[in-house]
Amino acid sequence: MLTGPQNLAENLLQVRRRIETAARAAGRDPASVTLIGVSKAQPASAVRAAVAAGLTDLGENYVQEAVEKIGQVAIATVTWHFIGALQSNKTREVAESFQWVHTVDRLKIAKRLSEQRPHFAPPLQVCLQVNIGAEDTKSGAQPGALGELARAVAELPRLRLRGLMCIPPPEDDAGRQRHWFAQIRRLRDELNAAGHALDALSMGMSGDFELAIAEGATHVRVGTAIFGTRS
Ligand SMILES: *Cc1c(COP(=O)(O)O)cnc(C)c1O
């Protein structure tokens, strides 16, 4: 399915309404939820249309594709979020082109990002990805390793540790889905009780962002519901 500019603006409006409804139902200010439009596999033209329709934050998964697209889109006001698996040989491009990285899951990657962040740029905002369902197929730090990782990442000079990110296992049941989001929120609260000041919870995608907002998501990553299905 192709999504033209008109559909795109309409989709964006629908998603914003859903965010607003979910936030209010949870007693939260809708402005406390940042909508990240996930534009992987979408052309620069779709990204520009989305920005023209008011989207300010974009998420990309693949370094090569993203760096090209960021250059093509060339809108300085966009905040770019890296949300894909990150290999150590690609950290420099990410440190140079993005404002946020949501998928830091080991110290080696964090150290490289800190060393390679350009000195003229503000610190790179980072979330630690947690493999909350302990799935073999997914990246992310194990919950038990989080305390040590957070302590080390927080000391890196060119990074600013903001919070946690997860992609929970898919569940048919809303209650079970929500339980994973609640677990991430608890892990964040534990880290804050240990002295951190983490304000970000990056969780929720097209199919489940309302549940994530109910559990405190501050950044929802929405692709399909805005841009249509990816080819
Ligand atoms: C692709 C992707 C999304 C968006 O998924 P949709 O279901 O299209 O909304 C969100 N987060 C991550 C990490 C992704 O890879």
pLDDT at 82: 98
Domain spans in the chain, listed from the N-terminal domain onward: 5-227
pLDDT at 3: 65
Give the closest residue (by CA) to ligand 1 atom 12.
83
pLDDT at 179: 97
Task: Dump pLDDT digits (tens) for 24-56.
Answer: 999 999 999 999 999 999 999 999 999 999 999
Give the closest residue (by CA) to ligand 1 atom 4.
223
Give the closest residue (by CA) to ligand 1 atom 5.
223
Q: Are 201 and 218 in contact (CB under 8 A)?
A: yes
- Mind listing the pLDDT tens digit of every residue in the chain (231 residues)? 556 767 999 999 999 999 999 999 999 999 999 999 999 999 999 999 999 999 999 999 999 999 999 999 999 999 999 999 999 999 999 999 999 999 999 999 999 999 999 999 999 999 999 999 999 989 999 999 999 999 999 999 999 999 999 999 999 999 999 999 999 999 999 999 999 999 999 999 999 999 999 999 999 999 999 999 987
Give the closest residue (by CA) to ligand 1 atom 13.
83
Ligand 1 neighbourhood includes 83 CB (under 6 angstroms)? yes
Ligand 1 neighbourhood includes 205 CB (under 6 angstroms)? yes
Q: Are 40 and 80 in contact (CB under 8 A)?
A: no
Q: Name the token pair of 140.
A: 């992310």
pLDDT at 8: 94
Give the closest residue (by CA) to ligand 1 atom 11.
221
Report the residue among 98, 221, 222, 224 best suited for mutation to probe ligand 1: largest number of ligand atoms under 8 A from its CB.
221
Tell me how far CA of residue 113 lies from CA of 109, 209, 210, in angstroms.
6, 29, 32
Task: Dump pLDDT digits (tens) for 204-227.
Answer: 999 999 999 999 999 999 999 999
pLDDT at 2: 55
What is the pTM for the complete model shown? 0.97
Phi-psi region of 154 (alpha: psi -120 to 50; beta: other; left: phi over 0): alpha
Architecture of domain 5-227: Alpha-Beta Barrel (3.20)
Q: Ligand 1: which atom is nearest the Cα of residue 103? A: 13
**Ligand 1 center to residue 210 CA distance, Å?**
14
